[in-house]
Amino acid sequence: MFTHLHLHTEYSLLDATIRISDLIEKLKESGMKSCAITDHGSMYGAFKFQNAMKAEGLKPIIGCEIYVAPRTMADKEHGIDNNYFHLVLLAKNLKGYKNLIKIVSVAHMEGFYYKPRIDFETLAKFSDNLIATSACLAGPISQPLLSNDYAKALEMAQKYSEIFKGNFYIEIQRNGMEEQNIVNEGLIKISKELNLPLVATCDSHYLNKEDAEIQEGR
């Protein structure tokens, strides 16, 4: 059974339309037993999501799509440091959840520049018991692939796989975008070359097909 591991709720402010109560009903209708919440840079919906999921006998997976600074959190130069990467983090257990809270808190309190950012060095300190995926077209591996820099993409994949120690997944999506199709080829090649597992996601921002127009007009 498919499980959403990259999903945004209304707590991804101005970027998604999924209400948690509606999501629960949709999961039940679809026969899904589990689901992740990975809102952009925040965990505002995590408590409500977990309680609502458990109340219906469903398994909640708490996560976040974080922003990774291109240099350090202290660097805040326009044109460079506002070009952050996306990375999806999922808590494996309570310790992972606490590390995720720490990462998101530090990103807001110390790394905020346009978005709440974390840097690679700080991310490495709190990577224990977290699962990471390479995220969307804004991810640290997809971005070099979009620039036709396979060597850099390979380097970044190796770098992240080392700090997450067997818990780093190459994320592929099928969203109809030509850029995605091109990137998927590189992602699959990297997965094979570094022996990294693949995970397929939808990067969901709305609940039903007919909601696309509303989401686009956000």
The three-point CA angle 53-43-206 to 5° equals: 65
- Domains, the chain, in order of start with CATH, read 63-204 (3.20.20.140)
**For residue 5, which of 85, 87, 86, 61 has the smallest C-alpha distance?**
61
Model confidence band, residue 22 (pLDDT cutoffs 50, 70, 90): very high
What are 129's strand-pairing partners? none
Does residue 216 carry a pLDDT above 70? no
Residue 201 has pLDDT above 80, yes or no: yes
Q: How far apart are CA 196 and CA 166, in angstroms?
A: 8
Strand 59-68 to 34-37 pairing: parallel
> DSSP of 8-35, one letter per residue?
--TTSTTT----HHHHHHHHHHHT--EE
Q: Which two tokens stand for residue 215?
A: 């989401």
Residue 209 scores a pLDDT above 80 = no
Percent of all residues in the chain with a pLDDT value above 90, rounded to a whole number: 91
Tokens of 131: 């699962």
State the pLDDT at residue 198: 97
Which of residues 152 and 206 earns the better pLDDT score? Answer: 152
Q: pLDDT digit string (tens) for 175-195?
A: 888 999 999 999 999 999 999
What pLDDT digit, counting tens, does each position of 128-138 carry?
A: 999 999 999 99
Quickly state the pLDDT bin for 202 (edges 50, 70, 90): very high
Q: Coil, strand or helix: which one is 114? A: coil
- Give the model confidence (pLDDT) of 33-86 as tens digits: 999 999 999 999 999 999 999 999 999 999 999 999 999 999 999 999 999 999
Average pLDDT over the chain, rounded to an integer = 95
Tokens of 70: 């291109």
pLDDT at 7: 98
